[in-house]
Amino acid sequence: MTSITENAAPVHRSSRDEVVAFVIMALALAVVPFTGIYPYFVMQALCFALFACAFNLLIGYGGLLSFGHAMFLGTAGYVTAHALKVWGVEPEFGILLGVAASVVLAVITGLIGIRRQGIYFSMITLALSQLLYFIYLQTPFTHGEDGIQGVPQGKLFGIFNLAQPITLYYTVLIVFLLAFLLIFRIINSPFGEVLKSIRENEPRAVSLGYKTDQYKLMAYVLSGGLAGLAGSMKIFVAQNASLTDVHWSMSGEVVLMTLVGGLGTIFGPVVGAFVIIAMQQYLAQFGQWVTVIQGVIFVVCVLTFRRGVIGEIAHYFKRSL
């Protein structure tokens, strides 16, 4: 059986390549406000890039395909938006509450979902996120179809005014880069190595004495918490929380982003997120054709392009990226 991440398994591990790539990425993103590129678009893409990286942590390194990851994005978003708007908390506490909520959610849903593997795990996470979707549709604090609108951005640590586009941009960028480094660190830690061994051959890991369920749950919670961070950051950019972020089509989108960029590659999800968000931005006038195009990309990726953009590049140069 060919594992879903087999194609992306690193050929030559070289942390130098990865560091160089990271510096290039950080510099390119840092100069965005001085180019003509629309910063709002980049901020949005960064939030989704973080979301996709968090998702990839689970599938790319744990081999678990969650089809309900939108529940973390949406939950953290609702909690942060509610905390900022109704309770009037500072931005840093809003983010903290959002991430905490998604971590709690991840622990609960993880304990349920981890009990089944493979396709069943995907279906369970999908069903759980749909359960949450209906709950958010009905509970008063989310305002149903209207969502929470006009969320104030506030001052981060009482100093940085997030209502200023440039301050907001660099805040989002720094949060993204720090989270990216954290994911990088997790992957390269002993924990990450165990995770990869579970992905490759779970029975072997069990026979070596690892409590694989605990590792998988930990990966799931980390992934959920980081996806929550993406959801919280997204509130400052979009200034509203809506049902779109919890709907299962959002869970499909993050799978698509990761698949396009390269499952199990470090930079793949970032590239994938930018590609998909750019596509949605520039093809918006074609209405439902965007869905069709996304479907076609899905099909093409699965049939012929399983490594994704970064995966192909890494494979060509025999490097891990």
Residues that bind another protein (CB under 8 A): 1-4, 6, 65, 67, 112, 115-116, 118-120, 122-124, 126-128, 130-131, 134-135, 137-138, 248, 252, 255, 259, 287-292, 294-299, 301-303, 306
Name the residue nearer to another protein (CB basis): 124 or 309: 124
Q: Which two tokens stand for residue 320?
A: 């891990």
Smallest separation, CB 101 to another protein (Å): 19
Decide the pairing of beta strands 160-161 and 155-156: antiparallel
Least separation in angstroms between residue 4's CB and another protein is 4
Query: Cβ 273 to another protein, closest distance in Å?
Result: 17
Q: Which of residues 72 and 248 has its CB atom nearest to another protein in the complex? A: 248
Q: What angle do CA 97, 103, 107 make, to 5 degrees?
A: 145
Alpha carbon separation from 229 to 172, 190, 217 (Å, rounded):
11, 24, 18
In whole angstroms, the minimum distance from the beta carbon of 124 to another protein comes to 6
- What's the closest the beta carbon of residue 258 comes to another protein, in angstroms? 10
User: Which CB sits closer to another protein, 95 or 297?
Assistant: 297
C-alpha 101/C-alpha 181 separation (Å) is: 22
In the bound state with another protein, the residue whose beta carbon lies nearer, of 13 and 116, is: 116
Nearest to 233 by CA among 222, 241, 224: 241
Residue 189 to residue 14: CA distance in whole angstroms:
15
Residue 25 and residue 267 in contact, taking contact as beta carbons nearer than 8 Å: yes
Q: Give the span between the Cα atoms of 312 and 310, in whole angstroms.
A: 5
In angstroms, what is the minimal distance from the CB of 100 to another protein? 22
- Pick the closest to residue 237 from 49, 76, 78, 47 (CA basis): 47
Is the CB of 181 or the CB of 299 nearer to another protein? Answer: 299
Q: Which residue lies nearer to another protein by CB, 191 or 298?
A: 298
Q: How many residues does the chain have?
A: 321
Q: What separation in angstroms does the CA of 10 have from each of 13, 53, 171, 183, 311?
A: 6, 17, 32, 17, 9
Indicate the residue among 98 and 113 with the shorter CB distance to another protein: 113
Task: Give the nearest distance from C-beta 174 to another protein in angstroms.
Answer: 33
